[in-house]
Amino acid sequence: MSNSTPEVSTHLKSSVKARVSAKINLWKTRIARELSGGQTGGTSEGNSVRLYFDGDEAFESMLKAISQATHYVHLEMYMFASDAVGQKFATTLSDKAREGVPVRVLYDAIGSMEADKMQWADMRDAGVSVVEYRPVAFWRKRSGIIGRNHRKNLVIDGALAFTGGMNLTDVWSAQSQGDSAWRDTQCRVIGPAAHDLNQLFIDSWRYATEEKIFHRPAPLPLHEDEHIPHMDGYQSTQSGTQSRCVVVGSLGLRTSKEIRRLFSVNLARATHSIKMTMPYFVPPRRLRTALRKAKQRGIDIHILLPRDSDVKVVDWLREGLYPEMLRWGITLREYLGPILHAKTMTVDDQIAIVGSTNFDILSVVMNREVALVVFDERITAELNQQWSNDLALSERVTNQWEGIRPWWRLVLAKLGCLLIRRL
């Protein structure tokens, strides 16, 4: 009998583990199904995903990918500056266009309003197709103020893509800014999810230009030890890691529910924890309700926010929500390091979300946004490790938070609270 006990115990543990694994897979499938009904091809298998937390490293990989493109380069960027980083990309894109490779660049008129117009002229002279998204000029077609293209997407040959929170400007570069470089997260995906990101670009390009880009076949999924032949060095850093992904993209004012669904589905399906890093936190009523209901179900919700972002009015509006969030039992922490710009979320240590979308009314209702949802425990663990690193530079928000604010900021927070409750 004593010899059989360990065997029985091992069998029971294996059986329990199998049942838990089956439940987790079912839970992931349900989330993927709910999220994949939007503007892309749905769930894709066989993706290789890599995260970047350092701007210079991300930029280097993006520039290398552009230089190795053989079919086309598609870039849609909210902020494309004319500083050192912006000029590097302008030069690399121009060089690729001179090789005869189609290069299309879509920049947002407001996000890139400080860029030197000669930069665009030089790129066009080199053969780059450069288009301004929603110019701020009422006499021009498809102009306007609201409804920006807030994405930061680079797609190479429909097979490799970058997305996240990093714009093309010096503030993300430690080489340029030193210790004051902004804290952000970017990701690279090789595989069919890159094709889905390209579909979003194609829609944006058609909206801005009325020009149809002919679709190319989706890339084949990557397999272990395989990589795209002309992209040496871009295979997964973890051999054999294949991730299921969903690309969630909103098309601005035309589809206001995709980003809201991204957050509400994950909040509703979470079983034990949510970790969110969010620079601009001004959620509309439905998302505030989703947070409250998740907390009432016992979900452990942690949100990392900047104490001082680059948009002061958002800080004042956000602080107006602190009393309510603390009353619900949500854990809030304020990042005290350089500007925090990362937009990430992990769900139950099983799902990682990286993208351009903020937890605010602009991202949910007005802007073109994108998020890559990755169903991979290893990617989620890497994102959670960066979360832990960021917590070392943060302080918890307590009920005494008002004591460290000047009186005028508290007044603005109260006014902000009244405004947010009407959204």
Q: Tens-digit pLDDT profile for the chain (423 aa)? A: 445 566 656 656 566 556 656 666 776 777 777 777 655 567 899 999 999 999 999 999 999 999 999 999 999 999 999 999 999 999 999 999 999 999 999 999 999 999 999 999 999 999 999 999 998 877 667 767 778 999 999 999 999 999 999 999 999 999 999 999 999 999 999 999 999 999 999 999 999 998 888 755 445 444 433 444 445 444 434 434 689 999 998 876 656 678 888 999 999 999 999 999 999 999 988 999 999 999 999 999 999 999 999 998 889 888 888 989 999 999 999 999 999 999 999 999 999 999 999 998 888 888 999 999 999 999 999 999 999 999 999 999 998 877 777 777 777 777 766 766 666
Q: Please check whether residue 400 lies inside any domain of the structure.
A: no
Strands 186-190 vs 331-335: parallel, antiparallel or unpaired? unpaired
Q: Please check whether residue 353 lies inside any domain of the structure.
A: no
Which of the 8 DSSP states describes residue 312? H
Asked if 345 and 275 touch (Cβ cutoff 8 Å), the reply is yes
- Other CB atoms closer than 10 Å to residue 188's CB: what's the count? 24
CATH of the domain at 100: 3.30.870.10
* Count of domains forming the chain: 1
Integer Cα distance of 257 and 367 in angstroms: 11
Q: Please check whether residue 111 lies inside any domain of the structure.
A: yes
Q: Please check whether residue 146 lies inside any domain of the structure.
A: yes
> Where would I find the H helices in 36-148?
55-67, 84-98, 117-125
Q: Please check whether residue 215 lies inside any domain of the structure.
A: yes
Q: Please check whether residue 212 lies inside any domain of the structure.
A: yes
Domain encompassing residue 128? 39-244
Please tell me whether the overall predicted TM-score, pTM, comes out greater than 0.95 for this model. no
